[in-house]
Every structure is written in structure tokens, then in C-alpha cells.
Amino acid sequence: MKHKHVFAIDIVLIAGTLLVLAGLIGYSRPLVIAPLPGFVTADTSVLFEFEKAGLILIDDNPDFTSPDRIYAEDNLVINLKPGVYYWKVQGIAGTESEIRELTILSEVNLKLKQVSEGMYEVVNAGNVELDVEVYDDKEIVGNIVLGIDESKEVSGTKFIGSQKD
């Protein structure tokens, strides 16, 4: 009878220890909050929200063969170029979160501001580099390349911008 009583106490202690360990492991697993899975935007500034993690891994392939490693204790805004990305966070003792995908769309946005008669400030307001053809009526008179947020003053009557290859 004594042996059965000791055996029962051992089982309770072992089961309790396993439950506590399982709870601690689950508690230390990082939690990803945002961006949501499949997030798509043209905004290149992305807010990453997470808990219980100190490292964000971002890669252009789901195998994470060459990830960017960004150390962060709190939530973080990261600027990304247009493309498809996979990301996850890493927490205590190397535990990792689920993998999420996000897409940054290319945005071609050309703005004009008239400086004087026939003279314009051409502004790349998109998130990709642009090739801009400059016309005087129906004849092409020039071509300029504008980086993101770059502007140039040019003379013309028509301006056509496209994403630079």
C-alpha cells in the first residue's frame, strides 16, 4: 500500500512539472500581431507589431536563406522596397513565430508644379525610380530619370513617367 501511495505522489509531481514546463514554453513563444498575413500595401513604411521577441527576420523567400536580421525590443517601422517579403520574429531561446507574407506594391506617381510659362518642376511622388519622357506638343524633347522623392525643373508640354527597369 505504501508503494502505491508514493507512486501516486510521483506521478502527480511529474505531471505537475510537465504542465508547468509546457506553460513556460508556450508563454515564451513570440506573438506576431501586425502586419496581418497576406498584407498588401503601396506604402513602403511598414509597422511590425509583436510581443516576446527581440529579432525580426525578413527575407524575399520563405526558406529564409538570406534574411535581414533586425534587432528590436519594441514594435518597429521598417522601410522596404516594393516586392514580396516573408517575415517572422524570434524570441527567447530561439523560439520562432509563424511565418507571414507581405507585399509592397510599386507605385508610379508623377506630380507637376508649374514654375513659369512652359517650365515645370517634375516630382517623383511614388515609391520606385522613374523614367520620364518630356514632350513639346507631340515631339519628344528629352528623357529624365527621377529617384524616389527627387524633382527636376524641365521645359515641356507633356510628361509621361514609367517605372525604371
Which is higher by pLDDT, 7 or 51? Answer: 51
Residue ranges per domain, the chain? 2-104, 110-163
Indicate whether 34 pLDDT > 60: yes
Indicate whether 47 pLDDT > 80: yes
Instruction: Write the DSSP string, 15-68.
Output: HHHHHHHHHHHHHHS-EEEESPTTEEES-SEEEEEEESEEEEEEESSTT-SS-E
Q: Which of 84-88, 115-119, 155-159 has the highest mean pLDDT?
A: 84-88
Instruction: Report cis status (omega within 30 of 0) of the bond before 35.
Output: yes
**Residue 38: which residues within 8 A CB-CB, separation 6 or more?**
100, 101, 102, 103
User: Mean pLDDT over residues 121-127, rounded?
Assistant: 91
CATH of domain 2-104: 2.60.40
Confidence of residue 2 (pLDDT cuts 50, 70, 90): low
Distances (CA, A) of 155 to 124, 144, 163: 16, 12, 21
- Whole-model pTM: value is 0.65
Indicate whether 8 pLDDT > 70: no
User: How far apart are alpha carbons 86 and 157 in whole angstroms?
Assistant: 43
Confidence of residue 60 (pLDDT cuts 50, 70, 90): very high
Residue type (1 letter), 133:
E
Which is higher by pLDDT, 20 or 118? Answer: 118
